[in-house]
């Protein structure tokens, strides 16, 4: 799956010259926590998020520091903070170092970026131009669409379910599939065999529950993990 499969194509944007109050109204109106910012030619130049709007003099949340710390920070830093808390132009307080992703990139690359940099959304580009946004909400929609439909699961026989479980087990190196036995009766799965830790027990349960047609799982596994301790 690639980014264009999950992104939102209809993107609201802010102009770099827009007033902060207008952008706040747009964000509240469309229920988003961030907007890409473009220049007069439509080129992406930044992004404005709720985090950029937290420190505002209008509501008394601008930064206040003791005098000694202001001396250490220096006039440049203090002047920048003044602009961010007092300016009414989006271009003065937006984040300019914007992470983006190409529409053809694998979806996993986008998730890696969002996770690594602790961000909630990524502008999506096509030949350098903004064409969409990918957010965490978009990922949830893709997840829901990827779930197997209930009617597909109904047609699974016990033999099909058992085969599917063994096929899934073969894909994962943390399972020694030869020591796990699976029996299925009317969608109820009995798991027998030997495991070496409780994490494997839980992982096996999750694996089986994700197989279409499984109604429930009966854990009859034996824990062979070594017993530690002493007198």
pLDDT at 226: 63
If you search the block for the tokens 């599917």, which residue do you land on? 164
**CA-based torsion, 221, 222, 224, 228: positive or negative:** positive
For the chain, the 3-state helix, strand and coil shares in percent, each to the nearest 5, are 45, 25, 30
Rounded Cα distance between 44 and 11, Å, is: 12
In this predicted structure, the answer to whether residue 14 has a pLDDT above a threshold of 90 is yes
pLDDT-based confidence at 231, cuts 50/70/90? very low
pLDDT at 92: 93
- Domains (range + CATH), the chain: 3-145 (3.10.580.10), 150-223 (3.30.1340.30)
What is the pLDDT averaged over residues 181-201?
93
The one-character DSSP state at 203 is H
pLDDT-based confidence at 101, cuts 50/70/90? very high
In this predicted structure, the answer to whether residue 229 has a pLDDT above a threshold of 60 is no
In this predicted structure, the answer to whether residue 97 has a pLDDT above a threshold of 60 is yes
What does the buried/exposed string (b/e) look like for 132-164 if buried means 16 or more CB atoms within 10 Å of the residue's CB?
A: bbbbeebeeeeeeeeeeeeeeeeebeeeebbeb
pLDDT at 155: 76
For the stretch 115-163, pLDDT in tens is 999 999 999 999 888 999 999 999 999 998 887 665 555 678 999 999 9
Paired residues of 218 in beta bridges = 190
With 0-12 / 13-18 / 19 or more C-beta atoms within 10 angstroms meaning exposed / middle / buried, residue 62 is: middle
pLDDT at 176: 82
CB-based contacts of 53, cutoff 8 Å, min separation 6: 20, 24, 93
pLDDT at 164: 94
């Amino acid at each position: 799956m690639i980014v264009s499969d999950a992104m939102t194509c209809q993107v609201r944007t802010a102009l770099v010259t827009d007033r902060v109050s207008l952008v706040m109204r747009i964000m509240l109106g469309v229920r988003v926590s961030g907007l890409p910012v473009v220049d007069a030619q439509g080129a992406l130049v930044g992004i404005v998020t709720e985090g950029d709007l937290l420190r505002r003099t209008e509501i008394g949340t601008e930064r206040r520091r003791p005098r000694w710390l202001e001396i250490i920070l220096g006039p440049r830093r203090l002047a920048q903070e003044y602009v961010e808390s007092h300016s009414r132009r989006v271009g003065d307080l937006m984040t300019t170092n914007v992470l983006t992703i190409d529409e053809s990139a694998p979806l996993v690359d986008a998730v890696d970026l969002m996770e690594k940099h602790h961000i909630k959304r990524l502008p999506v580009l096509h030949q350098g131009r903004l064409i969409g946004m990918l957010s965490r909400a978009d990922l949830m929609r893709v997840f829901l669409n990827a779930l197997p439909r209930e009617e597909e699961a109904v047609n699974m026989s016990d033999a099909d379910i058992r085969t599917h479980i063994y096929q899934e087990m073969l894909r994962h190196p943390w399972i020694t599939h030869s020591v796990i036995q699976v029996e299925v009766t009317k969608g109820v799965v009995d798991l027998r065999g030997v495991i070496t830790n409780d994490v494997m027990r839980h992982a096996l349960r999750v694996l089986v529950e994700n197989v279409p047609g499984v109604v429930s799982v009966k854990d009859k596994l034996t824990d062979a993990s070594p017993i530690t301790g002493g007198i």
